Each structure stands twice: as C-alpha cells, then as structure tokens.
Amino acid sequence: MKFFLDTADLAEIEEAASWGALAGVTTNPSLYARIGGKLEDFHAHIKRICDIVDGPVSAESVAMTRDEIIRDGLELAEIAPNVVVKIPTMVEGLAATRALADQGVSVNMTLCFSVPQAILAARAGARYVSPFIGRFDDISEDGLEQVGNIVQALNNYDFSSSTVNGEQIEVIAASVRSANHVTQAALMGADIATVPFGVLKKMVQHPLTDRGLESFMKDWEKVQNA
Ligand code: E4P
C-alpha cells in the first residue's frame, strides 16, 4: 500500500514528505477552502504542492459539464507533469474522463461509493478510483465493506486497454478517519490510502512502542552511569 496525504496544507505536506514515506497528495475543494485558498491562487497552489511531492497530486475540477471538465482538466494537467485530474463519478465526469485519458491525462475518479461506479470509472479510463470510507460510516453504513468489494471486483478484470499507457487502475481508499481504516483497507488490498495528517501521525504511534522506547532509554542511562 502507498500513502497519499489528503490535504491542501503546504506545511503538513512538507512535514509528511520529510518522513520519507509519502507517495502523493489528494486535494479537494473543501480542503482548499479550509486553508483559506482563493480562486485566483488555485493553480499556483497546486504547483507548490507538485514541487514538494515526488508523486501524483490530485487537483479537482469543479465543472459540471463534460466540455468544461475537459477544459478544466487540460488546464490542470498543464500545471505540472505529476498532476492528476480529480473528477466526480457522474455521467459528465465519465465522459470527460474518457476524453482526458485518450489525451494522456491521468484521472482520479472521486466520490465513488459502489462497485458499478468503480467499474464504470475503470472502463472510462480512470487511472485511480477513490471509494470513500468515512462518509459511509457517517450515515451508519459500512464504508470498508465497499472498499473490499471494489478491490475484489476490479481484480476480476483487466482494464489496461482502457487506461493511459495501459497502466492498471489503482484503488485509493479515501475519506479515511482512523488508523484502523488504513489497516482494514490494506488487508482488503487497496493500492493506496489517502489520509489526513492527523491520521498519518496516529499511524506512526503505538503505546507499546512508547513503552519500549522509554525502557530502552532508562536502561541506556544505566549503561552510561555504570
Ligand atoms: C479524497 O480524495 C477526498 O479528498 C477525501 O478523502 C474526502 O474525505 P472526507 O470524507 O473526510 O472529507
């Protein structure tokens, strides 16, 4: 499993990148709004993220018609070679994904909540598909089960003839709210988990690691004073 950071916050991205295990970043309109992002600065902000991260950076189109999404997507793809255009799973989004994939632009199909949606995304040429976990949990349904189903269903077929450069579509477990979501998504075979910085920090921690570290330090002090 690879880890992406789900944020538009540059300080978080710089910090996570310095840990050596970051493979990419996903943003969305809400995450950009959360950092006080302004419309006129959006492309420059995505460029800053792309300069920090050595890996795919998802930038979302907010257009609603296929022609607008395609135009948006082509502009976003011009920002940097590692930009991935994020497009919601809807009819206009599928049509735009096909057109962008045919022009060599990588797409991350977002807001995916079902197996049929994921298969349609794959057939339309998406490079990534993002099933959301937490938002299912928010309505008392099992988001992890959907991730498992989507991984299993996509593994049943070869979609390489549909995607950019014949690359296999990868499943990004998204809307991750806890380290346990990451554990379960990894066991189910999700290729990537995109996680908020708070979850990434929790993923590093374990109480037994803390306890073990404390006892090693104490014993080392004894060695120094012996
Ligand atoms: C995915 O790429 C989305 O940006 C994100 O994971 C949404 O998460 P949320 O449901 O916590 O907003």
pLDDT digits (tens, 9 = 90+) for 147-176: 999 999 999 999 888 887 788 899 999 999
Q: What is the pLDDT of residue 162?
A: 83
The preferred substitution site among 132, 191, 195, 199 for testing ligand 1, maximizing ligand atoms within 8 Å of CB, is 132
Catalytic residue among 2, 86, 201, 202: 86
Ligand 1 atom nearest 30 alpha carbon: 12
Ligand 1 atom nearest 4 alpha carbon: 2
Ligand 1 atom nearest 172 alpha carbon: 2
Q: Decide if 86 is catalytic.
A: yes
CA of 223 to the centre of ligand 1 (A): 48
Q: What is the pLDDT of residue 176?
A: 98
CA of 54 to the centre of ligand 1 (A): 21
Q: What is the pLDDT of residue 24?
A: 98
DSSP-assigned states of every residue in 94-147: HHHHHHHHHTT--EEEEEE-SHHHHHHHHHTT-SEEEEBSHHHHHTTS-HHHHH
Alpha carbon 67 to chain centroid, angstroms = 25
Q: Whose CA is nearest to atom 5 of ligand 1?
A: 175
Mean pLDDT of the chain: 96
Nearest-angstrom CA–CA distance, 149 and 141: 14
CA of 8 to the centre of ligand 1 (A): 12
Least confident of 81-90, 161-170, 203-212: 161-170
User: What is this structure's pTM?
Assistant: 0.95
Q: What is the pLDDT of residue 218?
A: 97
Q: What is the pLDDT of residue 207?
A: 96
Return the number of other C-beta atoms located less than 10 Å from residue 15's C-beta. Answer: 15
Q: Whose CA is nearest to atom 11 of ligand 1?
A: 175
Which residues form ligand 1's pocket by a CB distance below 6 Å? 6, 26, 28, 110, 130, 132, 134-135, 174-175, 194
Q: What is the pLDDT of residue 165?
A: 78
Alpha carbon 182 to chain centroid, angstroms = 12
